[in-house]
Structure 1
């Protein structure tokens, strides 16, 4: 009996190992912190393994078009996944919005950024960081905000642009820029500011930052890809996503 039970247990273990798969995922820079937590929980629950790459959505688009071996894309916008799907680089019907991003004006210096964003009108700073509006959705949102405030032209000489929101964040984090527009998720956790001072930019000042996920053509037959998409829409992942200030 013990021998039979052992064989059954071994069979189940081998079956689970056979079903586990590895998945390469391109993740928008703003989503790095929550995705690392989600990945750990996902791997523990499913047995699948994730290889995560973080970067700018615009750069990922070019890499995917040039044959980069990504199987899933978690973008910082909804336009890039839609374009990849239309171009045959993604699996039709797998695209959905996994998070709605929020923009924040942030400084590592306490008290520099007030809770109404009036520091922008004072101009009492040498540089302001933002992601490239042509490449990064959060950069586009920052420009929309400044244009609606009628400050884009006045502050243009102080812009320090990064390729992605991750680089824009680094400019401020390393104090190469005293303040900058970054993703809320980069500086808030569990509803609290992690450091410095910040202004949550009203969502009326920029278009919604809908962040879409897509299974790419290379991930079509990978069971871990569909499993991850289901997991991102479940309660466990959404709790993590919400804790970093994202909407749905």
Structure 2
């Protein structure tokens, strides 16, 4: 058999085997990680043949759903507490937790010039205007919402802004409030407004990390995914250079 025909046959056989073994992994991903995870899922499918089926939302809600039997196989949390808790409760696989990203909080307005790069807008007269709304995620469910309240408290301005707050279930809803201009400004994940080293639209203040608890985002393999090749492959893939490059491009640390 000619060499080129053998090579073609080998490609067909190995390609067919890859398709046979390709699987799906059900992923619960923190809302702030939506955009980078969508890109990672595409790259993951190209490189491995596996498909990552994504659900995005608040980490607190995912925790409750997993406790009640939701069939997720991997959790990409917005904090480092929830994965550890799931392992302690027997719902997460011991030894699989790792920090896949370190998040950054940002104050953002869709309008240019509203938010200055020092965050002084929070100290200014806007807090006295009854029509001005400040969006943030539910601090009881979303770590980025908790970080927003911590920031306002540290700056000593939480009492003046508290009556202006419009609250989303998660950071994606907080972002939507600002994006649709139902809120003039809001606390969002930097990844939602930062692409390739610059703000995509409007004005932004990147909140200094000392103003709130660290936003370490941990991944955990859930017990429902412990024997699933696609779930194991995704956990390994998130540690690889292609995934890390995507994560960095959205303003996260890795």
User: How high is the TM-score relative to the length of structure 1?
Assistant: 0.96
From 137, 161, 173, give the equivalent of 2:167.
161
Query: Paired residue for 1:82?
Result: 84
The unaligned stretches of length 5 or more in structure 2 are: none
Structure 1: 5+ residue runs without aligned partners?
Answer: none
Match runs of 1:222-237 below 5 Å: 222-237=228-243
Q: Could you give the per-residue CA deviations for residues 121-156 of structure 1, whole angstroms, max 9, x where no partner exists?
A: 114151101111111100111011111101111211
What is the CA–CA distance in structure 1 between the aligned matches of 2:125 and 2:167, rounded to whole Å?
A: 17
65-74 or 119-128: bigger deviation: 119-128
Match among 86, 100, 122 for residue 98 of structure 1: 100
Greater CA drift, 150-159 or 181-190 = 150-159
RMSD (Å) for aligned C-alpha atoms: 1.6
1:35 aligns with 2:41: no
User: In 2, distance between residues paired with 1:148 and 1:66?
Assistant: 36
Alpha-carbon displacement from aligned partner over 1:196-236 (angstroms, at most 9, x marks no partner): 00111111111110000011111111111111111111111
Identify the match of residue 132 of structure 1 among 128, 132, 138: 138
Please report the TM-score for the alignment, with normalisation by the length of structure 2. 0.94
SS of 1:12 mapped into structure 2: helix
C-alpha distance in 2, partners of 1:191/1:7? Answer: 45
Q: CA deviation at 1:18?
A: 2.2
How far is the alpha carbon of 1:12 from its aligned partner?
Answer: 2.4
Partner in structure 1 of residue 118 of structure 2: 116
Aligned residues: 248
Task: Using the TM superposition, give the Cα deviation of residue 11 of structure 1 relative to its aligned residue in structure 2, in angstroms.
Answer: 3.6
Q: Which runs of 4+ in 1 moved over 4 A?
A: 6-10
Equivalences for 1:1-248 in 2 at 5 Å? 1=1, 5=6, 9-124=11-126, 126-248=132-254
Change (3 A) 1:163 1:123: farther
Q: 1:112/1:7 Cα in 2 relative to 1: closer, same or farther (>3 Å)? A: closer
CA distance in 2, matches of 1:198, 1:123: 18
Question: 77-86 or 14-23, which moves further after superposition?
Answer: 14-23
Quote the Cα distance in structure 2 between the aligned partners of 1:134 and 1:180: 17
Q: Secondary structure at the match of 2:163?
A: helix
